[in-house]
Structure 1
Amino acid sequence: MNASKVYFTDMRCKVGTSLLDKLDKLILAAGIDRIDFENKFVAIKLHFGEPGNLSFLRPNFAKAVADRVKALGGNPFLTDCNTLYVGRRKNALEHLTAAQENGFSPVSTGCQIIIGDGLKGTDDVEVPVHGGKILQTAFIGRAIMDADIFISLTHFKGHELTGFGGAIKNIGMGCGSRAGKRAMHCNGKPSVDAEKCRGCRTCTRFCAQSAITVTERKAHIDHEKCVGCGRCIGVCNFSAISSDIDAQSNDVNRRMVEYAKAVVDGRPHFHISIINQVSPCCDCHGENDAPVIPDLGMLASFDPVALDHACIDAVNAAPVIASSILGQCDHSQHDHFTSIHPTTNWHSQLEHAEAVGLGSADYELIVV
């Protein structure tokens, strides 16, 4: 397989040229205009940031991409799916409010925002995983699958479970519905917190296996009947049903890769990563630690695997900020994310991605 082309531009700006100008120039150089956008719906997948976190990508980056899509004749919308854990983005109403608090609106981004898996995280499509080695199907947000073209816009950073959060994680984990996220994170089946349960019976109406009964105003799940779909987690208004996040790093990475493949297969896709404010943990946290390296630049490619590999190499070649958590770690092996999260294995993302045909880790870096 030939090396995939990855385009790079740094964060330096001459007077009169902004980072947004450079981003537009970058994605044009990378060939985004080779996609036929005319009258097509275009999902731009990004992370809106958990409120309290300040390292997520600013809305200005999204607007630059949306404006270029519109100039090419497309109809863009920003999207993300609801979270599995209990936070400020677990349903569409809270998710949209969180996005607005963080500055995302049709005015600031030039396009509408649609939560991909609907009000309660249950509006999904079961999509085949072609070439999957672990999964046969993936539960992806319906609005994302309804789009004609898919673009990922990623804040490249560390992650406490997957090692790093790049394009593959933004696509795979981010586009999974609440049921999909459960399938990636959890090996077990959901359980009920009796103190939180109100006995409302909403979960019983959505369980296709009739595995949930309510006695003495408390729900009970029969694990013999339960298939672990996670639908009950999404529909519970009181956060009384949950699964332990018990899958290990390699398990999550491989399932996440197969979800990413389900998202992009069969339609045009394009990927952008921004290496700035590189925090050690995910933007899903309601806080962020200090950046571990200086801001590096912006990258774009048609190949998300090559893009992630190029970002990893760039980060590992960068100097460590001494006052950061990385500055306090043993980084003699020059593997920054493993130094921060030694129990993770980010390599399994790229290895499995190549194995299932998502892309190639072999890349040619072209400086713009």
Structure 2
Amino acid sequence: MTKSKVYFTDFKANLEDSHLKKLTRLVTKAGINTIDMKDKFVAIKIHFGEPGNLAFLRPNYAKTIVDVVKNNEGKAFLTDCNTLYVGGRKNALDHIDSAYLNGYSPFSTGCHVIIADGLKGTDETLVPINQEYVQDAKIGRAIMDSDILISLTHFKGHESTGFGGALKNIGMGCGSRAGKFEMHSNGKPVVDESICKSCGMCIRQCAHDALHFNENKKAHIDVNKCAGCGRCIGTCGFDAISTLEWEANDILNKKIAEYTLAVVQDKPCFHISIVCDVSPNCDCHSENDIPIIADVGMFASFDPVALDQACADACLKSPIIDGSVLSHQDHHHHDPFKDTHPDTNWEVCLEHAEKIGLGSRDYELEIVK
């Protein structure tokens, strides 16, 4: 079986050769220009960073990729889906404000920001995949409407999945709020009556007649009728609806792989990961601790599984930063991600992704100078 190609360049620079020039050279060598982008809508999937977090990718990287798309006569837009949790990115207006606050404006990147699952996180496309854990993935509509997907990922640690790489950026990131609920939960939602405002929006949105007002005039979910779709979570503007049954990390990782399959299976895709400021936790945090390992470099591939594997392998070889959370851990695994979050196993996601045909963990690394 032919190994997948992954391309890599380091962060060494000089007066004539900046990081951004090297990024352009990297993606060109990796074959991004072989994709027919002429007059096509090109979704660049990125994490804009929760307000307060400073580890997210600088918008300069996004502009570099936008320029590549424009040079290929494509129509680029930066995109992400709304978050399930309370924060600065739970609806499209707050999300766009957060993106602008962190530098992702049309003036700095050369393209618009579109929140793929709409104003309240309910604008989704059901994508049949019939996998082990997910039958119909709930993907942000603008992403499914795009002709081409480019994932631009900040590779970092993650408290539930071990690390956040290309698969996490695509699978979790492209899920609507209901999709994120499906990945995170193995149960059905419940209403916190102390928060419920009795507005009735969830009742009007429920397709299964599972919601009604109780004797306290608060929304109540009939678990016998509830299908567990999570749409009420996206509808509620007060975060009164949530789940009590969080999915185990291994199953979460497998669901992320299956959601990634839903996004990439029928369209041209290209994947880029920037391994710098490798914080211990996701950029969804409203803060970031110091990086756990030294900066590595930039990677690109048509294969997201090989890309994640190559990034992880490089991180395993990178020096631990003194004073970081990782430097105070017992290194039983000799793995910066498992040692930082011992209850996680990032390999599960890659194993499952390979099993369902997303790509190969076996790769050939080509160095781009």
TM norm structure 2? 0.98
Letter in structure 2 aligned against 1:201? G
Partner of 1:59: 59
Letter in structure 1 aligned against 2:170? I
Tell me the CA shift for residue 211 of structure 1. Answer: 0.4
Letter in structure 2 aligned against 1:97? D
Task: Work out whether residues 188 and 245 of structure 2, in 8 Å CA contact, stay in contact via their aligned partners in 1.
Answer: no
Partner of 1:229: 229
Superposed CA deviations along residues 60-117 of structure 1, whole A, max 9, x for unmatched, are 1000000100101100000000001111111001111111111110011110000010
Match of 1:175, SS state, is: coil
Between the aligned partners of 1:308 and 1:333, the Cα distance in structure 2 is 19
Instruction: Specify whether residues 119 and 245 from structure 1 end up closer, same or farther in structure 2 by C-alpha distance, changes over 3 A only.
Output: farther
Instruction: Specify whether residues 294 and 217 from structure 1 end up closer, same or farther in structure 2 by C-alpha distance, changes over 3 A only.
Output: same
Match of 2:350, SS state, is: helix
Q: 2:107 matched to 1:74? A: no
Superposed CA deviations along residues 186-228 of structure 1, whole A, max 9, x for unmatched, are 0111111111111111111100001000133210100000011
Match of 2:353, SS state, is: helix
Partner of 1:362: 362
Query: RMSD of aligned C-alpha atoms?
Result: 0.9
Match of 1:114, SS state, is: strand
Match of 2:351, SS state, is: helix
Correspondences of 1:283-294 after superposition (within 5 Å): 283-294=283-294
Partner of 1:4: 4
- Structure 2 residue runs without a partner (length 5+): none
Correspondences of 1:182-331 after superposition (within 5 Å): 182-215=181-214, 216-244=216-244, 246-331=246-331
Between the aligned partners of 1:251 and 1:87, the Cα distance in structure 2 is 25
Letter in structure 2 aligned against 1:163? G
Task: Work out whether residues 44 and 150 of structure 1, in 8 Å CA contact, stay in contact via their aligned partners in 2.
Answer: yes
Task: Work out whether residues 156 and 273 of structure 1, in 8 Å CA contact, stay in contact via their aligned partners in 2.
Answer: yes
Letter in structure 2 aligned against 1:5? K
Match of 2:256, SS state, is: helix
Letter in structure 2 aligned against 1:315? C
Between the aligned partners of 1:335 and 1:195, the Cα distance in structure 2 is 43
Q: Which 4+ residue blocks in structure 1 deviate beyond 4 angstroms?
A: none
Between the aligned partners of 2:150 and 2:356, the Cα distance in structure 1 is 20
Tell me the CA shift for residue 332 of structure 1. Answer: 5.0
Letter in structure 2 aligned against 1:197? C
Superposed CA deviations along residues 111-130 of structure 1, whole A, max 9, x for unmatched, are 00000100000000000226
Partner of 1:167: 166
**Number of residues of Structure 1 aligned to a counterpart in Structure 2:** 367
Partner of 2:93: 93
Task: Work out whether residues 80 and 173 of structure 2, in 8 Å CA contact, stay in contact via their aligned partners in 1.
Answer: yes
Task: Work out whether residues 317 and 334 of structure 1, in 8 Å CA contact, stay in contact via their aligned partners in 2.
Answer: no
Match of 1:312, SS state, is: helix
Task: Tell me which moved more, 27-36 or 191-200.
Answer: 191-200
Partner of 1:152: 151
Between the aligned partners of 1:115 and 1:278, the Cα distance in structure 2 is 25
Taking only the aligned residue pairs, the percentage that are identical comes to 60
